């Protein structure tokens, strides 16, 4: 079961359930009654978790009753800070809007504590929470983030064909790169002959340079740009020859 995230500044109105249902905050002296109700109708684990809420000020447990008989409960700030749950409604009380009323009351309680987001841990009825308070599945967010990170990761290892435009003229050099983490090495072949290349790559940002012999004069060229999959573009500075731009494509 996934964890859910709820934006507490976008909660729906706290609409009352059926007319004969009372939703209210539990009182400290009701700990034993509520704990027994939860243990008998749900589980001892939920009863233990909810008991923590009775130590909070105010008590972070809401209860639902029909004719003074408990039919449901909801707790928050018990299992972990900023968490909603556990919660439950007995079968005879379902379909009356009790679950949603308990949920919204508890989330408003979290908002009053200063939270902007709440987490519903290991949520069972995901569709209910999505419809009731606009909850989103955190697993999807995590997967999307991981997928985005994977797409952002680049590897420029291989041979690249460049097109260079400078104030001194144009050229079509080739570079062969080898990437090891953020470290970049390689080989240049072009107008200045051949030279070894060194540089760095961080995310999609790439910088590399080489020094070549131009008619007895050492000339350093520095390229700075960005990588997008199998393409690259940016600016370059050739000492003594000016500046320019480049585009490149992996072969």
Same domain, 114 and 215: no
Same domain, 83 and 122: yes
In this prediction, residue 97 carries a pLDDT of 95
Strands 231-238, 21-25: parallel, antiparallel or unpaired by DSSP? unpaired
E-assigned strand segments in 38-124:
61-66, 69-76, 83-89, 117-120
Give 24's Cβ-side CA count (13 Å radius): 12
* C-alpha torsion angle, residues 20, 26, 27, 31 (rounded to 10): 120
From 124, 148, 172, the end of a domain falls on 148
Predicted model pTM: 0.57
Contact 71, 89 (CB under 8 A): yes
Same domain, 180 and 229: yes
Domain that holds residue 202: 158-250
Same domain, 110 and 138: yes
Domain of 211, CATH number, reads 2.40.128.120
Report which DSSP code applies to 248: E
Is 47 among the domain residues?
yes
Q: What confidence tens digit (pLDDT) does each residue in 107-119 have?
A: 999 999 999 999 9
C-alpha–C-alpha distance, residues 60 and 77, integer Å: 7
Is 153 among the domain residues?
no
Same domain, 120 and 183: no
**CA of residue 245 relative to chain centroid, distance:** 36
10 Å CB burial of residue 51 (0-12, 13-18, 19+) is middle
Q: Is the pLDDT of residue 212 over 90?
A: no
Per-residue pLDDT averaged across 95-123, rounded? 95
Q: What confidence tens digit (pLDDT) does each residue in 127-158 have?
A: 999 999 999 988 655 455 555 544 457 899 99
Same domain, 116 and 174: no
Angle formed by the axes of helices 126-133 and 98-112, nearest 10°? 60
In this prediction, residue 150 carries a pLDDT of 45
Domain of 99, CATH number, reads 3.40.630.30
C-alpha–C-alpha distance, residues 80 and 77, integer Å: 6
How many domains does one find in the chain?
A: 2
Same domain, 13 and 133: yes
């Amino acid at each position: 079961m996934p964890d859910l995230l709820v934006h507490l500044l976008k909660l729906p109105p706290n609409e009352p359930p059926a007319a004969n249902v009372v939703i209210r905050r539990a009182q400290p002296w009701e700990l034993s009654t509520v704990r027994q109700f939860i243990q008998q109708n749900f589980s001892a684990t939920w009863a233990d978790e909810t008991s923590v809420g009775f130590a909070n000020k105010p008590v972070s447990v809401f209860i639902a009753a029909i004719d003074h008989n408990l039919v449901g409960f909801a707790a928050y700030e018990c299992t972990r800070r900023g968490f909603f749950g556990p919660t439950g409604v007995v079968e005879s009380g379902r379909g009356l809007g009790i679950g949603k009323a308990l949920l919204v009351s508890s989330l408003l309680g979290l908002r009053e504590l200063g939270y902007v987001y709440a987490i519903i841990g290991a949520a069972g009825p995901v569709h209910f929470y999505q419809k009731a308070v606009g909850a989103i599945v955190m697993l999807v967010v995590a997967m999307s983030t991981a997928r985005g990170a994977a797409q952002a990761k680049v590897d420029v290892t291989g041979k690249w064909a460049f097109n260079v435009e400078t104030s001194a003229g144009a050229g079509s050099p080739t570079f062969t790169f080898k990437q090891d983490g953020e470290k970049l090495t390689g080989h240049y072949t072009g107008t200045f002959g051949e030279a070894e290349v060194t540089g760095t790559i961080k995310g999609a940002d790439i910088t590399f340079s080489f020094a070549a012999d131009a008619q007895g004069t050492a000339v350093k060229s520095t390229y700075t740009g960005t990588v997008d999959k199998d393409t690259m573009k940016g600016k370059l500075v050739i000492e003594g020859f000016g500046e320019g731009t480049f585009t490149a494509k992996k072969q």
